[in-house]
Amino acid sequence: MTQPDDLRTIRVLGSPEGEPFFAILEHRIRRRNALTTGARAVVALVAATGLRTSGGLLEPVEARATGHSFSAIELSGEDEVLVPPGYQAVSLIIWGDPLQPGLPAFDPTAQTPELQMQRFGYNVDGLFFFPVPAGSRNSQSGVLVINHEYTNPELMFADYDAKRPTRKQVDVELAAHGLSVVAIERDDGGDWHYDVDAPYNRRLTALTEIAIAGPAAGHPWLQTSDDPSGQVVLGSLNNCSAGSTPWGTFLTAEENFHQYFANLDGIAADDPRKSVHERYGLPRGASKRLWERHYDRFDLAAEPNEPFRYGWIVEIDPYNPNSEPTKRTALGRMRHEAATTKIGYDGRVAVYLGDDERFEYVYKFVSSGRFDRTNREANIGLLDDGVLYVARFQDDGAGDWIPLVYGEGPLTPENGWTSPADVLIRTRQAADLVGATPMDRPEDIEPNPVNGRIYAVMTNNSNRSAADVHGANPRPSNRHGHIIEIAEADGDATATRFTWEIFLLCGDPAAAGDGVYAAGIDPALVSPISCPDNIAFDSRGNLWIATDGQPGTFHMNDGVYMAPTDGPERGYVRQFLSGVVGGECSSLALTPDDTTLFVCIQHPGEGSAYDAPSSSWPDHSTPPRPGVVAVTKIGAEPGVIGS
């Protein structure tokens, strides 16, 4: 079915036939406020969101200046990072840069696994800035933690043969996965540099020993030939989005781990593990990477339990290079995207999680223990005990967090569930049974530090049919994606009920059929935006959005956008940065004072080859090298990004 020509023709499942999206939005606002503070709240909310009523519909109001004065840039296909006038984007660290002193200059023709373990890794995704000292708001020096999601061997090695990768090439790839911990500082001229001699610097790779903790630790399905205990795993794979904890640790999300494994058909049809691996998308035959040619751990016929050791959230202490990274199994197993935290009124900690695949779910974990502000060490392990919930979005704008607890609802021995660990290992099947809402690729999910609401990114879902449309996923063939705004009941992160609204339906306002909606702002004022991925908030509560997929929808580079979440410019989306050819603007982070924006430029030149790359970023050489840029205002004194 073709996409509707006009947003007002979109039908929402469960609504009166022909009811337009804007009318449904208005009804939700009225219902929600009538149930809380009465009719006056409707007027207040409409004013706050920049909408006015006319003839029963919500209409956009003219955007007004609120101090965010940068000039929006246009979509670009150029092979350079572009920012508005008055700003500069400078490469901070790129693939191959040394993280230890005394290493030779990076030479792509002389790579070894031993050297790669001491160098900045490959594709860059989730990142976070941790001020130094810990607990401060210092914005002049800190520790940057950056995920290395995956590798593009066709751009890494001049002699790469996809059908016959060598053992050495595979070992370099394993060493280029994981994450980097890098000390950085800003000099008197306002420029950022990383410190190669800093004691904080650290690499975690696909070969690093990582502890397994929580309910699934030691479970028989996590036991392998190399680790009969099921409590220590070799490495972390496909580290995508990320988050931080209130006690100053980094949470990295293992996403598309399925791609590394092979030969599902090597497991007997009646083996219960096979159906679980199928639900998580493991390939029946050879993997695309063919690592199984060199290592049995990636061959399901040899090690059928190895995939159960991936798909978790991993906690790392960036301030202690000798600390042990730990997989926190209480947060469930999925293709994790995001792990962001918010403290509830009673001190328990909520962690918001997405499962990044079409028709998968939005989750929340709530700890049993409470955050101790006075004792950092007492919080280590807080994420090993609690309740994992999955979201059900109602068409009327209400929602429920449904607990995934062994012995409750359908998760009983009578239905084949054996333990709390079983529920967490098979998180997707548990969510299927309790009636969670299938979403359009849930990616980053983050609390706004100013208004307290939660923003959940749905990147896209071109497979959604008209019959599958419902309120929280209101478009068939949703190739551009959208962002949902969630308000927890009473503003408490530990609540089991919530309300929700569509904050942004992405697309090109100038193109018929894209159905752009931006929290009531006139679509003609909004920058074209597609495939939102990771987000961040500045200290004023403005939403910053990084995209992943605009080369496929707009045939232009991905970018970074800003949108206020409250006030008269609520929803006024403007493009702030453009990435490079073949690259993704995969993640972003701000310093506490908002004067620096760090942006990951992932897989520049993807889709091309080593001897004919489509990108030469960042230094006009071959091969292109993924890395992090630091964006600052030009001038002697630091200026707030976006002002």
CATH of the domain at 77: 2.120.10.30
Report yes or no on 260 lying in a domain.
no
Q: With bands split at pLDDT 50, 70 and 90, how would you rate the model's confidence at 636?
A: confident
What pLDDT is attached to residue 513? 81
Alpha-carbon gap, residue 636 to 641, rounded angstroms: 15
Helix (H) or strand (E) holding 550: helix 550-553
Mean pLDDT of the chain: 91
Query: In terms of DSSP H, where are the helices of 401-489?
Result: 420-425, 427-434
Please name the residue ranges forming H helices in 239-330: 272-279
State the CB neighbour count (10 A cutoff) for residue 607: 14
Residue 201 lies in a domain: yes
pLDDT of the residue at 420: 98
Residue 592 belongs to what domain range? Answer: 7-255+311-633
Q: Report, as an integer, the average pLDDT of 34-44.
A: 31
Q: Give the tens place of pLDDT for each residue, 590-605.
A: 999 999 999 999 999 9
State the pLDDT confidence band at 557, using cuts at 50, 70 and 90.
Answer: very high
Three-state secondary structure call for residue 430: helix
Does the structure show a pLDDT above 90 at 31? Answer: no
Q: Kindly state the DSSP code that residue 461 receives in the 8-state scheme.
A: B
- CA angle 254-440-589, nearest 5°? 50
Determine, yes or no, domain membership for 294: no
In what helix (H) or strand (E) does residue 154 lie, and over which residues does it extend? helix 153-156
Rounded to two decimals, the pTM is 0.91
DSSP-derived secondary structure letter, 436? P
Give me the number of domains the chain comprises.
Answer: 1
Higher-scoring residue by pLDDT: 515, 20: 515
305 belongs to a structural domain? no
**What is the model's pLDDT at position 540?**
94
pLDDT at 63 over 80: no
Instruction: Please say whether the beta carbons of 536 and 588 come within 8 A.
Output: yes
Looking at per-residue pLDDT, the higher value among 497 and 67 belongs to 497
pLDDT digits (tens, 9 = 90+) for 355-372: 999 999 999 999 999 999
What kind and span of H or E run contains 171? helix 167-176
Phi, psi of 299 (to 5 degrees): -110, 110
In single-letter form, the type of residue at position 53 comes to: T
120 within some domain: yes
DSSP assignment of 9-66: G---TTSPTT--HHHHHHHHHHHHHHTTT-HHHHHHHHHHTTEEEETTEEEE------
More confident residue, 90 or 50: 90
Give which of 185, 203, 189, 180 is closest to 133, Cα–Cα. Answer: 185
In whole angstroms, what is the distance from residue 471 CA to residue 359 CA?
Answer: 14
Would you list the DSSP string of 57-119? EEEE------S--PPPPPP--SSS-B--TTEEEEEEEETT-BSSTTPPPP-GGG--HHHHTTB
User: Is it the case that residue 34 has pLDDT exceeding 90?
Assistant: no
Question: Could you identify the residue written with the tokens 């004919």?
Answer: 612
Q: Evaluate whether residue 265 is within a structural domain.
A: no
pLDDT at residue 41 greater than cutoff 70:
no
The first and second tokens of residue 12, run together, are 């929402």
Count Cβ atoms below 10 Å from residue 552 Cβ, excluding itself: 13
What is residue 5's predicted lDDT score, i.e. its pLDDT?
Answer: 31
Contact at 8 Å (CB) between 566 and 68? no
What is the percentage of the chain residues whose pLDDT exceeds 90? 87
- In this predicted structure, what is the pLDDT of residue 515? 87
Rg (CA), the chain: 24
Q: Distance between CA atoms of 50 and 219, rounded to whole angstroms?
A: 52
SS3 state of residue 202: strand
Confirm if 585 and 547 have CB atoms less than 8 A apart: yes
pLDDT tens-digit map of 232-256:
999 999 999 999 999 999 999 999 9
Widest distance between CA atoms in the chain: 71
The answer to whether position 286 is within a domain reads no
- Report if residue 348 sits inside a domain: yes
* Percentage of the residues of the chain whose pLDDT score is greater than 70: 90
